[in-house]
Structure 1
Amino acid sequence: MTDLVIRPLVAGEEDLFESMPDPLPQLRQVGYADGLAGGGYRPENTWVAIRAGRVVGRAAWVLPPGAAGAHWLERFDLDAEPEVGAALLRAAHEAFGGPRLYYAAMPAHWRRRPEVLAVIRAPMAAARLAGLVERGERLRCSWTGTPLPASSGRYTFRPAADATEINALVGRIAEPDVLTGMEMARAVGGVDLATDPLAWLTGPAGDWRIALDAGEPVGLVGTAGQACYPLVAYLGLRDAAVRGELLAEAVRVLAAGGAREVIADVDAHRVAVLAELERTGFRQLRSRVVFEPAAGPPSDAVAGSGADRAG
């Protein structure tokens, strides 16, 4: 690696980052130029590895303006051996005062796609060599107009009365099924969407729907129609049997408001939740594998996953 140059960009070198072809153009993500314009990407937080005058590795850490935590690695592409990528990451980590979180984005069903595996093996191996460890996976799913399942008639749904009613139900739900944008809620607002969703979802109480079984609340869903994408932001249950119908109710409400696409994020290990999303008409858009420093994230770092509010 004697001919290798590793350094951050300086202002005006944006084209150097873009000179490396996008290895996964099918991924829907914020472009580097748009991220710079929005203030999330900065040249000093963007590093390149150059060999023989050609960019063979690039890494861009992002932090939205006004965010509460530390920047995280959002773009990392490598057209070289993993050791080159590891050297790039180590150099940046040293400049940052320690390693940062990395969200490795890839197309849906990436494990079954040899052409995707061929692209991501090197950067993932480089992350491990640089001392990062896999800590989970999040899936983003999208509904785009598929007919919704019919209601069984067992449950009724109504808007939440006020914040007090929402918070009381949230307090009775140990582990929500769906938390879309939870990483951005932490990164920008320092908010735990699972326990304090109204600190992030500031729309009217009517954006929330409560599912009732014989008058007893059994589920709660919060939607957001004015984010970057209409989304099911929070879905929590007290009875798993209501999951499918409450999901359909949330999508129905958003579609009635004009949404042509609805986004929902779920942890990959939540197999039953993912299956219900798919039965409701959602299809996987992408995956994000979370890498953390082996000793855990630095004290000033909080999770993030995207240069847009929907995460």
Structure 2
Amino acid sequence: MTDLVVRPLVAGEEELFDSMPDPLPQLRQVGYADGLAGGGYRPDRTWIALRAGRVVGRAAWALPPGSVGEPWLERFDLAAAPEDGAALLHAAHQALGGPKVYHAALPAYWRRQPEVRAVVEPPMAAARLAGLVEQGERLRCSWTGGPLPASAGGPLPASAGRYSFRPATDAAEINSLVARIVAPELLTGAETARVVGGVDLARDPLAWLTGPAQDWRVALDGAVPVGLAATAGDACYPMIAYLGLLDESARGELLADAVGTLAAGGAYEVVADVDAHRVATVAELDRTGFRRIRSRVTFALPQA
């Protein structure tokens, strides 16, 4: 068999990356050319594996300009054995100063689709051979509708009327509630906040979500706050950036209120990220009319 050649791209040959057919065209992700134009991708952080002059593996580490963190492996496609992919990663890691986090973007319900698993399992196996271990899975979900009440996504679940909702009063109220919420149910864009701004979205969301306090919704049981949600309508797309609870019974009504608030403001799509192991939250997203559009499995060095 022809020897494998592993190397980074050099300026002027960026088209080599796209010479490998996209194995998952159904997956929504930033194209390589767009990533180069935006500065997140660079040729020296893009590596390829060639056999007989043909690209059989490609890997692109992303880092938006101005970020305080390290690049992460955003695109990794492999049309070769996992051992070849591991050779690519080992060489790139050495040049990049050590292994970096790998966020494997996968279609929703990828485990149920044998043809998709055949594509995504070799690069994940290569990551394991290169010393990375699976750290968890997050789902990106999307509610698609339009300005309420006429919504193509269907009506939101009816409120049981137990809870009322209002905008947050100010940053002090938001911070006070965040301090009492042990683990938020939804954190959308948490990885970006950490790498780009060095912000822990779960503990200090206002360091990243700089919109007005009125973009936050407070769930009340009588006069007592029992939940908090950040409706970020002016971000790159409308999202529920944060949702945390002090009373789990408020989950469904707070979620519906947050979506309704964004839709009433003109949003046609609302996205939310949730850890896959949060079964109750995933089920509530389904009930509210969200559909899963992507899975993201994270690989990193074993934690000490």
> Normalised by the shorter chain, which TM-score bucket?
over 0.9
SS in 1 for 2:236: coil
Structure 1 residue aligned with 2:126: 126
**Residues of 2 paired with 1:235 and 1:53: CA distance?**
49
SS in 2 for 1:124: helix
Corresponding position: 1:241 with 2:241: no
- Which of 191, 209, 225 pairs up with 2:199? 191
- Which of 146, 170, 176 pairs up with 1:162? 170
Matches within 5 A, 1:168-207: 168-207=176-215
Structure 1 residue aligned with 2:9: 9
> How far has the Cα of 1:178 moved from its partner?
0.3
Structure 1 residue aligned with 2:160: 152
Structure 2 residue aligned with 1:43: 43
Instruction: After superposition, give the CA deviation of every residue in 1:179-235 in whole Å (9 maximum; x if it has no partner).
Output: 000000001100000010000000000100101011110000001112222000000
**Residues of 1 paired with 2:63 and 2:37: CA distance?**
13
**Residues of 1 paired with 2:96 and 2:302: CA distance?**
16
**Residues of 2 paired with 1:23 and 1:255: CA distance?**
34
TM-score under structure 1 normalisation?
A: 0.94
**Residues of 1 paired with 2:2 and 2:291: CA distance?**
46
Query: Does structure 1 retain, via aligned residues, the 8 Å contact 2:2–2:52?
Result: no
Structure 2 residue aligned with 1:20: 20
Corresponding position: 1:221 with 2:245: no
> How far has the Cα of 1:294 moved from its partner?
2.9
Matches within 5 A, 1:264-279: 264-279=272-287
Structure 1 residue aligned with 2:107: 107
Instruction: After superposition, give the CA deviation of every residue in 1:144-171 in whole Å (9 maximum; x if it has no partner).
Output: 0221011111111010010001000111
Structure 1 residue aligned with 2:289: 281
SS in 1 for 2:180: coil
Letter in 1 for 2:253: E
Letter in 2 for 1:62: A
Corresponding position: 1:292 with 2:300: yes
Instruction: After superposition, give the CA deviation of every residue in 1:70-119 in whole Å (9 maximum; x if it has no partner).
Output: 00100000001111100000000011111110001100011001110010
> How far has the Cα of 1:295 moved from its partner?
4.9
> How far has the Cα of 1:34 moved from its partner?
0.4
Letter in 2 for 1:133: V
Structure 1 consecutive aligned stretches of length 4 or more whose deviation exceeds 6 Å: none
Bigger mean CA deviation after superposition, 286-295 or 163-172: 286-295
Letter in 1 for 2:25: P
Shift in alpha-carbon separation, 1:153–1:295, aligned structure 2, 3 A: closer
SS in 1 for 2:277: coil
Letter in 1 for 2:55: V
Query: Does structure 1 retain, via aligned residues, the 8 Å contact 2:2–2:51?
Result: no
Structure 2 spans left out of the alignment, 5+ residues: 146-152
> How far has the Cα of 1:2 moved from its partner?
5.4
SS in 2 for 1:195: coil
SS in 2 for 1:21: coil
SS in 2 for 1:44: helix
Matches within 5 A, 1:66-105: 66-105=66-105
SS in 1 for 2:272: strand
**Residues of 1 paired with 2:231 and 2:13: CA distance?**
40
Shift in alpha-carbon separation, 1:265–1:52, aligned structure 2, 3 A: same
**Residues of 2 paired with 1:258 and 1:162: CA distance?**
24
Shift in alpha-carbon separation, 1:295–1:158, aligned structure 2, 3 A: closer
Structure 1 spans left out of the alignment, 5+ residues: 297-311
**Residues of 1 paired with 2:15 and 2:234: CA distance?**
33
TM-score under structure 2 normalisation?
A: 0.96
SS in 1 for 2:42: strand
Structure 2 residue aligned with 1:308: none
Query: Does structure 1 retain, via aligned residues, the 8 Å contact 2:238–2:271?
Result: yes
